[in-house]
């Protein structure tokens, strides 16, 4: 979670990562089931190489739409949406019935939001927001010496809202970054990222915000975590330092409430943080992981082939073997999530955007 996206081929790696990693996201007259002919053309919504995907459908049209995550009953998606032309200057949380294209605002419409996720029962949605600090959007992250950086907003707090948009509970209340929350399929825990320790670490808490526990403690950014289908394991992205200069740079950025996302690897651990092990050693930006329904594979987004564009979705076994490319858009694919019944895959992509910066939500039947 926490990533933004919109790309065109002429962008530099810095601009691309700015768009692809700032998180992200309404509708026009195009019907939800308008599927382009399967082709290798970058304007299509389905590419011939995408053998695991069928019946591809585009669910959003226009603006920036990202981090679309399934309800437990597989009938809805919650996602982030930005569209300055429609008076939505930075990410707000919306609800989408599948395959309907009508969206509904869940967040307050104030501040900036990120990382929404359904709670068990599908009557409430978890998300992070800065709206208590200010009605306006917080400043966008800067470019520093040619590098793209994320802002670690201390104004983010984690909330629970009902499907009418009413906030029913505030789970965190401090001046630290609290965001990137997801919920265990077991329905007992939330995992999130916070800098309350002085570093960006993973924490778990109960669904009511109680029993907060820090479960990572190594220097570097740990975030974007999600649970395995049985709730026994977690997968997340983390900084991977190869030199002391990288550690120094990370610490300097963090003092300024900034972090660079351009070099991350995936890690797996037990749900309590024990038995941590590195899953990928690909270099570049490897992020937005999710488990397959059987818990034996992980899908994630990466630009490891080029260290630039495109970002595509890959799968890898949980023992680090059998790396396979799943998506083949020429610019950006990320935020893959399986429906809980394993029948469908939702993700966000720059495909079929007419060469604009728009990022949209797509869903497909999953083929083994």
Flag whether 246 is in a domain: yes
Flag whether 8 is in a domain: no
Mean pLDDT of the chain: 89
Tell me the backbone φ, ψ of residue 262, rounded to 5 degrees: -85, 0
222-227 and 233-239 strand pairing: antiparallel
Span 41-49, mean pLDDT? 81
Flag whether 80 is in a domain: yes
Flag whether 65 is in a domain: yes
Q: Whole domain around residue 235: which residue ranges?
A: 13-366
Query: Which tokens belong to 101?
Result: 């294209």
Span 4-13, mean pLDDT? 35
Query: Which tokens belong to 193?
Result: 């990222």
pLDDT 10s digits, 300-326 = 999 999 988 999 999 999 999 999 999
**Are 200 and 155 contacting, i.e. CB atoms less than 8 angstroms apart?**
no
Supply the pLDDT for residue 28. Answer: 29
The domain that contains 334 carries what CATH number? 2.120.10.30
Flag whether 1 is in a domain: no
Flag whether 17 is in a domain: yes
Supply the pLDDT for residue 144. Answer: 64
Range of weakest confidence among 9-23, 119-133, 218-232, 257-271: 9-23
Supply the pLDDT for residue 262. Answer: 86
Provide the domain count of the chain. 1
pLDDT 10s digits, 128-153 = 999 999 999 999 887 666 677 899 99
Q: Name 128's bridge partners.
A: 114, 158
Query: Which tokens belong to 92?
Result: 């707000």
Burial 8-31 (b: 16+ CB within 10 A, else e): beebebbbbbbbbbbbbbbbeeee
> What is the number of H-type helices and E-type strands within the chain?
2, 28
State the pTM of this model.
0.90
Flag whether 205 is in a domain: yes
Flag whether 7 is in a domain: no
The answer on pLDDT for 5 being more than 60 is no
Looking at the chain, the whole-number percentage of residues with pLDDT higher than 70 is 87
């Amino acid at each position: 979670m926490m990533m933004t996206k919109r790309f065109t081929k002429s962008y530099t790696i810095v601009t691309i990562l700015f768009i692809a990693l700032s998180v992200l996201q309404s509708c026009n007259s195009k019907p939800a089931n308008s599927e382009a002919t399967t082709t290798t053309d970058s304007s299509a919504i389905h590419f011939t190489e995408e053998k695991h995907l069928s019946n591809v459908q585009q669910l959003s049209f226009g603006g920036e739409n990202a981090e679309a995550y399934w309800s437990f009953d597989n009938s809805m998606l919650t996602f982030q949406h930005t569209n300055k032309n429609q008076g939505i200057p930075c990410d707000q949380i919306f609800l989408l019935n599948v395959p309907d294209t009508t969206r509904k605002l869940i967040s307050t419409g104030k501040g900036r939001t990120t990382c929404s996720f359904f709670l068990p029962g599908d009557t409430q949605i978890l998300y992070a927001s800065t709206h208590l600090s200010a009605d306006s959007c917080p400043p966008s992250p800067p470019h520093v010496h040619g590098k793209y950086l994320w802002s670690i907003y201390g104004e983010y707090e984690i909330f629970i809202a009902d499907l009418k948009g009413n906030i029913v509970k505030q789970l965190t209340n401090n001046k630290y970054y609290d965001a990137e929350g997801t919920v265990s399929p077991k329905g007992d825990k939330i995992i999130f990222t916070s800098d309350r320790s002085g570093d960006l670490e993973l924490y778990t808490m109960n669904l009511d915000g109680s029993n907060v526990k820090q479960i990572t403690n190594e220097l570097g950014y740990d975030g974007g975590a999600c649970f395995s289908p049985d709730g026994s394991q977690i997968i997340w992205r983390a900084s991977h330092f190869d030199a002391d200069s990288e550690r120094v740079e990370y610490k300097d950025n963090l003092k300024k409430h900034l972090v660079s996302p351009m070099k991350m690897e995936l890690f797996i651990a037990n749900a309590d943080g024990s038995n941590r092990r590195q899953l990928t050693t690909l270099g570049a930006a490897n992020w937005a992981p999710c488990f397959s329904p059987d818990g034996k594979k992980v899908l994630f987004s990466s630009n490891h082939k080029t260290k630039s564009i495109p970002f595509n979705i890959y799968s890898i076994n949980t023992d680090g073997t059998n790396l396979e490319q799943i998506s083949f858009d020429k610019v950006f694919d990320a935020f893959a999530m399986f429906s809980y019944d394993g029948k469908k895959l939702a993700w966000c992509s720059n495909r079929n955007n007419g060469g604009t910066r728009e990022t949209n939500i797509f869903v497909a039947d999953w083929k083994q």
